[in-house]
Amino acid sequence: MNLFAGSGLLLAPILVLAMTLAMTLALVSPTGPALAADRNEAFSSRGLGIITCQRYLEEKAGNTESYPFFRSWLNGYLSAYNQFQPETFDISSGAPIEQLIAAVEQICEADPQRPFWAAASRLTRLLYDRRLTIKPELVDLTAGENTVTVTKAQVRRVQQALKDRGYQVGVVDGLYGGNTRRALEAFQQSEALPVTGLPDTATMAKLLQ
């Protein structure tokens, strides 16, 4: 089912609209009321955020044309959270969108009647204590002809995840060395992923799920 069928609008403008609406949604702090609500703590939520979790889960199960727009909406919501929440550079700590949308799906399955925005808000509260509070140092990792740009914190998470799965990475220090590269290659081969030896998006999504 296409949520935008018959709207007379092109999908690209709809995506821009969804992202814009996400940026203006009220954001819920970990311990208090909505930051952008009125004096009575009420606010208007528009766009995909007002759709129930049940409807979202149905769109996902049917792999409809509309399903990818929920991922974009969530990205916009989290970007807005990062912008307006004090002492927050990245609420997700660089987690891949695949991991984040999977977490939202679990929240939705627990309470299908809640609106999608409320599931996204719940996700921010779960992530809050592990958020990045300042802009991290970025590092370029190169193996052969391939290069990825990540943070040292992401490398540490990858190393720890590999270690938890039984791969030999040595010290979990956020440094990309031979042990980490070989462990990544072994993991990628076991998961039928392109063997780059690098923590690329597809590898992190699979490893950190």
Task: Read off the pLDDT of residues 25-53 as tens digits, 9 standing for 90 and up.
Answer: 444 444 433 455 777 777 777 788 999 99
Residues 89-109: tens digit of each pLDDT = 999 988 888 889 999 999 999
For residue 187 the two structure tokens come to 């993991």
176 Cβ contact list (under 8 Å, min separation 6):
139, 141, 155
**Tell me, what's the pLDDT at 137?**
79
* pTM for this prediction: 0.61
Q: How far apart are CA 159 and CA 145, in angstroms?
A: 22
Task: Give the mean pLDDT of the chain.
Answer: 82
User: Rounded to an integer, what distance in angstroms lies between the CA atom of residue 110 and that of residue 186?
Assistant: 35
Q: What is the pLDDT of residue 94?
A: 80
- Over residues 124-134, the mean pLDDT reads 91
Three-state DSSP string of 110-122: HCCCCEHHHHHHH
Instruction: Grade residue 54 by pLDDT with cuts at 50, 70 and 90.
Output: very high
pLDDT in tens, 143-163: 888 899 988 888 988 999 999
